[in-house]
Amino acid sequence: MTAPLSHARSDPAGYPVVRLRPKANARAVRHGFPWVYANELVTDRRTKAIAPGAVAVLEDDARRPMGLVAVNNGSKIICRMLDTDPGAVIDAAWFAGRLHKALALRKRLYPDPYYRLVHAEADGLPGIVIDRFGDTCVVQPNAAWAEAHIDALVEALTEITGCTCVIKNAAGRTRSLEGLDDITAVLRGAAPDGPVPVPMNGATYMADLTGGQKTGLYYDQRPNHAFAAGLAKGARVLDVFSHVGGFSLSALAAGAVSALAVDGAAPALDLALAGAEATGVADRFATRQGDAFDVLAALGEEGAQFDLVICDPPAFAPARPALEAGLRAYERIARLAAPLVAENGILGLCSCSHAADLQAFRAASARGIGRAGRRGSLIYTGFAGPDHPQLPQLAESGYLKSVFFAL
């Protein structure tokens, strides 16, 4: 389903035309920056008439074509660059070309079909996230143009991957910013009957593709799970904000003597326990439901000690206005977690906040460790896995940070 075009001035191919303001940074766009903000575009009556999600030709202030963009007048990101060829046609064949490249990369990276297949702008599909779980793909169309072209996307996706089921996950803050609904639906085939087992780092994770968080599993932490697992043999492990057992299950598979998973969501812990059973480590695995800050404080009062502690909270600073409060929350996590680490143990701290860069997050973590009366040496800095490629021109694509300290 393609969004209707407006009555704005059109180029020969039939697309409406939008134009940058004279003071907009056209050079950044030409050099790969994928967004145009609302204050950078001429928003006259004709531009405002363009339907959300429609495709248009972007021109610089000298009326030279720069490529095809998706337009959404209701978003601060008013244009997203789709193709530098202004004559391109955005149809199923176009999607197939982008998906073919994305799939070829993932096949080189992973032997099994469990990965992030499309990571939005970095894979040339702005605002679109696709996670693959064997024969099922979960799509997050987080931009209006993706929603408008969902039929063509699904057609290409099933053709290129051979997947028999496609699920649209409509949860999340980003869709609301684009004026989109939050209705999740099965777009092709039948949804899996129950959680899907996902092999990763020697463990088996159980992903709820229709009712779980995000797309059902966080693939981005895979290399950081592997690093922590390399430290886990013979260790007592504490996995805070564990979701479905992210760090704890891989640590147990690598030989940890015990692991305690802490999360506020009972369904996530149930899936973690099912994963422990599927991995064959349930006898060394325990869960504790509750607010992470409260559980960390309670464990401190109990005098609990662990050789490896990892805290992987949700985004405390998802946007710039929340940055200061978010950094205080990261500092507090470190302060509460550090006393639980045994002498010469390891503390791993993670952030998926777009607004908190690595330097700010690392400094907040170090302050928290210091406030707990501990000294820490930074031994590892990790990021999202290669199935979450970063677009160098877009800092937001490198959102995940993991820092591990020897205390």
Distance, CA of 228 to CA of 230 (rounded, Å): 5
Residues sharing a CB contact under 8 Å with residue 174, sequence separation 6 or more, in sequence order: 127, 142, 143
Q: Assign residue 162 a region: left if phi > 0, alpha if psi is -120 to 50, beta otherwise? A: left
Single out the catalytic residue among 79, 137, 311, 352.
Answer: 352
Distance, CA of 6 to CA of 54 (rounded, Å): 8
- The residue with tokens 């564990």 is 242
79 is catalytic: no
Catalytic residues: 352
